[in-house]
Amino acid sequence: MNNISDLTLNEAKKFLKKIGDKEGAREIKQIIKEDPEKAEMLVSETMDRQFNQVWKIKEHAYGFLDVENEKDGKIPIVNALTMDADKSLKGERINIRIGNIYVERYPGFFGGEHEILFEFKAKHAPEGSAEDETIQYTQKYTLRNKGGGGKSGLSIMKGLRVPNNGIDFYLNTIYLSNENEEKFLRFLENGIFTSGLELIPGANPVLKQVTGYASGITQYLIDEKKSKIIQEIGLGFDFAGNTEVASLKNGTYVAAQAPRQMLSWSDWYYDMDSSLIQPYDDSLDRLPYNHITFVVSKHEEEND
């Protein structure tokens, strides 16, 4: 399945026109008209002055809310790739859930709703097994530009047991491009797919079926060759101290679809009153990039 930023301008023009993004298709048509050789240029290679759409950015910047240094309702944000991991989480069970989702701009009709599939992958260390296994899970969200959706704080994985080398956490957001795909995936509105994947032994008798559905959905979309990935997020969540991978610890992470050299987290904070990421200089109302927050917390067993 292609990332939309990997399409050529000619391919992107056709795709955008098909999904009702007349503005984007018109801008690309003008670029090709002025220089026909650019028809085979990748969307991600276009200059912002020619095609300034935030969804064309393939890179992500990763931040972490530094709640220990909160002051006057403002929580500083630090670089999640350079902070220290909490090594006590090795072998422990954690929960991962979506915090807030903000869409500055996704492809499609600007004022309309976008049906987006969230595809999650992570490594899990089952008890009694020497081998880690990859867990796959999907959820469907309805999102709008300059906002998000009605869902926030949804569980993704509950009771994930952390392997010694980290969990290799990934998320793809996938644009569902036609009604047939949306109808096919309506079963994702079932509670099994909205309440999070339960990974405690014996707690989820349909675990294999759910993860199998997720794998099958992805394969279906690949075979159809119609849907496109908008955001490819790879947080990693490990313990190695690698500056290309987010370190794992309890707290809230931010994944922003933005060039890392353009986003210095020290210029931004999380406002506890508005639940928005805002600049210290008050120049903007909120972070002007597509971004998603993830909350990692220690799993607590429920008492009967």
At residue 220 the predicted structure's pLDDT band, cuts being 50, 70 and 90, is low
pLDDT at 263 over 90: yes
Tell me whether residue 52 is in a domain.
Answer: no
- Check whether residue 117 and residue 264 sit in a common domain: yes
Q: What is the mean pLDDT of residues 218-225?
A: 57
The backbone torsions φ and ψ at residue 203, rounded to the nearest 5 degrees and listed phi first, read -80, -25
Tell me whether residue 263 is in a domain.
Answer: yes
Name residue 142's amino acid: T
- Check whether residue 230 and residue 190 sit in a common domain: yes
Strands 228-238 and 246-247: parallel
Per-residue model confidence (pLDDT) at position 114: 87
How many Cβ atoms from other residues are within 10 Å of residue 188's Cβ?
18
Q: What is the pLDDT of residues 287-302, one digit of tens each?
A: 999 999 999 999 987 6
- Check whether residue 241 and residue 105 sit in a common domain: yes
* CB-CB contact of 193 with 186 (8 Å): no
- Check whether residue 16 and residue 140 sit in a common domain: no
Tell me whether residue 303 is in a domain.
Answer: no
Residue range of the domain that includes 8 = 4-45
301: DSSP letter: P
Higher-scoring residue by pLDDT: 302, 75: 75
Q: What is the pLDDT of residues 5-62, one digit of tens each?
A: 999 999 999 999 988 899 999 999 999 999 999 999 999 999 888 899 999 999 999 9
Tell me whether residue 234 is in a domain.
Answer: yes
- Check whether residue 140 and residue 40 sit in a common domain: no
Tokens standing for residue 261? 């050299």
* CB-CB contact of 102 with 286 (8 Å): yes
pTM, two decimals, is 0.87
Q: What is the pLDDT of residues 59-73, one digit of tens each?
A: 999 999 999 999 999
Number of domains in the chain: 2
Measured CA to CA, the distance from residue 16 to residue 4 in angstroms comes to 10
